[in-house]
Structure 1
Amino acid sequence: MLRCILTRLQNTAWFELLEPLSRTPAFSALNDNYTESLKAAQAQNTQVFPPMRQIFRAFEATPFEKLHTILLGQDPYPGTFKHDNQEKPFACGLSFSVSRIAPLPKSLQNIYKELHISLNTPLSKHGDLSAWAHQGVLLLNAILSVPKGQPKGHAHLGWENFTDQILNMLSQLDRPLLFIFLGRVAQEKMKVLSQNSKHLILCAPHPSPLAQSRPPVFLGSGVFKKAQEFLKAQRISMQWALD
C-alpha cells in the first residue's frame, strides 16, 4: 500500500532516495502495521490522518533540488474541524500546516508570532504552509500518521525508523542544510544525523501552548531569526511571509 503511494514520486529526485528504503524489511513491517491500522480504524468507524493519499505529501510538495530546510514536527494533527457542516481533518501531510479553510491551530499561531517577533512578518490569517514547501522547506513529521483523537497513537508503527533513515541520508548531502527541530520528539532525531560542518541544526521547544507554561519556551527563542541568518549567509532566498 505505502509502496504504491510512493510511486507518485517516481519522476522526482526524491524517488531515488526513498525507493531503496521501500525494499527493506523495516518498510515492509511499517507497511503491514499501517495497513492494519487502517483496517482497525474502519472496524471502529473512525479514521487515520492524514488521508492516505497525503502520507508522502511533504516530499511531493518540496522539490528535492530546492531543498534547504527541514522543519521537523512530532506527528500529524489528530483533530478535526467543521466546514460546511462536514467534519474535516486538520492534518494535511505537511508538518504544522493545515488547509486554508481550517481554523489556525494554537501551535501554528505561536509559530507565526515567533516569525513576527524575529522577522517582523505579518501574522497570516490562514495555515497553509505549502508556499514554504515550494521554496525548499521540507515540512516533515517524525511520525507520518495518527489515529483520530490519539496524539502519538502511531508512535510504534515503524515511522520513526523510516524518518530516521531519511534524515540520516539528508545529513550526508554535500550542500548546506538547515535542520529545525521543534519539541522533544523532534529533537531526539538529532542523534541520527551525520556530522557535517556545512549544516546548521537549530532546536526550540514545541510551539504548542502547553509547552509555553514552563521555561524554556518557544516564543522568544529566536529560532527563525537564526534560521534566516544562516540562509542569507548561504545566499538562499526564503520568504517566510505568507499571502
Structure 2
Amino acid sequence: MNDHSENLQRVWHADLQAWSEQLDVDLHQPAFLEQLAHFLNQFDPEHLCPQPTDIFRAFRLTNPKTCLAILIGEDPYPRRESACGIAFYDAAIRHWQDRRRNNCMFNMLKALAIHTGQATYGTPLDQVRQIACDWPDPPTLFEDWAGQGLLLLNATLTFSAKKSPIKLQHFRFWQMWMDRFLVHCNQKLKPTFILWGQKAINRLTTALGPGMAHAQVIRQGHPTYQHQFLKPSNLHFSPFNELAQALPIRWMTRT
C-alpha cells in the first residue's frame, strides 16, 4: 500500500470533506490520514477489510446535510469479499436467494417481510426468500437507505484478523476519531442513533458521556440473534415497525 498512500489519502479526504464542513470539525486532517496509512501498512493487505478505498464508503453514500439517523455496527466483516465499508451489509450476498450463511442479513430480511405484513416470526427462511424475489437486491436496498439519510457506520472502520490483540489494535486506533465524530454529530446534526445490541449501546454511551442523556436513541436487539431482533412472543413484531414510526425512511420499496 505504500506506493499508493498519497492517492488513498486523496480518496479519504474526498469522502470526509462534506462531513467535516457540515460538522465544522476537521475529520480529514492530513496528519490523521497519513497516520491511518501508516497504521494500515503494518497489516497484510490481503487480510485487510475492507479495501482501503472503501474505509469511508458509508460517509460517501450519505449526505451529511440530510442525515436523519446513524445505525452503529461493531466492525467490518472479517472477509474481504464481504466487507465493503457499509455496516451490516455483506457485499458477498448480491441477491436474497443466496445460500451463504449470514444470520444478520437474513434476520433483517425476515424482519422486513414481517414489517410489510407478508411473514411472521414462524415463517421459514426459504419462504421469506421467495417473498423477497421482487424486492430490491441487498446492494440496492442498503444504498437506498444511505441515500435517504441513514449513515450505516461501523464503530471500528478496519479489521484484519479475529485474534483479540489485533482486533483490539484496530479498535484503539479508531476510538478517539470515532468518539469525536459521534460527539460532533450529536451536537450539530442531532440524528437518531439506532443501536442494535448492547455493544452498540455501550459504544455510544462511552463516546457521548453525559451527552447520551440528550441524544435521540432507539435501542433494539441485534440482528445476529433472531430471538433478540424479533420476538417469539409476538409473531408480528418487527423492529422496522418502530423505525418506520420514528423516521421518514422507506425501509422497503418494491422494484
* Same-fold call, TM cutoff 0.5: yes
The question of whether the paired residues in 2 share the 8 Å contact of 1:38 and 1:47 is answered with no
Counterpart secondary structure, 2:44:
helix
The question of whether the paired residues in 1 share the 8 Å contact of 2:90 and 2:105 is answered with no
- State how far apart, in whole Å, the 1-side matches of 2:172 and 2:9 are: 16
The alignment's TM-score, normalised by the length of structure 2, stands at 0.71
- State how far apart, in whole Å, the 1-side matches of 2:13 and 2:220 are: 34
Aligned residue number for residue 106 of structure 1:
103
**TM-aligned CA distance change 1:21 to 1:112, over 3 Å:** same
- Aligned residue among 60, 83, 89 for 1:91: 83
1:6-53 deviation per Cα after TM superposition (whole angstroms, max 9, x unaligned): 32136x53132386234498x47xx646634443314xxx32011100
Aligned residue number for residue 9 of structure 1:
15
Which structure has the bigger radius of gyration?
2
Alignment of 1:1-243 (within 5 A): 1=5, 3-9=9-15, 13-16=18-21, 17=23, 20-23=26-29, 27=32, 32=35, 35-42=38-45, 46-80=46-80, 89-99=81-91, 101=94, 103=98, 105-120=102-117, 123=132, 124=135, 126-128=137-139, 129-147=142-160, 153=167, 154-173=169-188, 175=190, 177-191=191-205, 192-193=207-208, 194-195=211-212, 200-208=216-224, 211-212=225-226, 217-220=228-231, 222-231=238-247, 236=248, 238-241=249-252, 243=255
- State how far apart, in whole Å, the 1-side matches of 2:136 and 2:246 are: 27
The question of whether the paired residues in 1 share the 8 Å contact of 2:13 and 2:28 is answered with no
- State how far apart, in whole Å, the 2-side matches of 1:109 and 1:18 are: 38
RMSD: 3.1
The question of whether the paired residues in 1 share the 8 Å contact of 2:66 and 2:149 is answered with yes
Unaligned 5+ runs, structure 2? 119-130, 232-236
- State how far apart, in whole Å, the 2-side matches of 1:120 and 1:148 are: 40
The alignment's TM-score, normalised by the length of structure 1, stands at 0.74
**TM-aligned CA distance change 1:196 to 1:111, over 3 Å:** same
Higher strand share: 1
Letter in 1 for 2:152: L
- State how far apart, in whole Å, the 2-side matches of 1:195 and 1:76 are: 25
The question of whether the paired residues in 2 share the 8 Å contact of 1:203 and 1:223 is answered with no
The number of equivalent residue pairs is: 216
Higher helix share: 2
The question of whether the paired residues in 2 share the 8 Å contact of 1:71 and 1:137 is answered with yes
1:42-89 deviation per Cα after TM superposition (whole angstroms, max 9, x unaligned): 4xxx32011100010111000112110111111111125xxxxxxxx1
- State how far apart, in whole Å, the 2-side matches of 1:79 and 1:159 are: 19
- State how far apart, in whole Å, the 2-side matches of 1:93 and 1:120 are: 31
Counterpart secondary structure, 2:78:
coil
- State how far apart, in whole Å, the 2-side matches of 1:116 and 1:225 are: 11
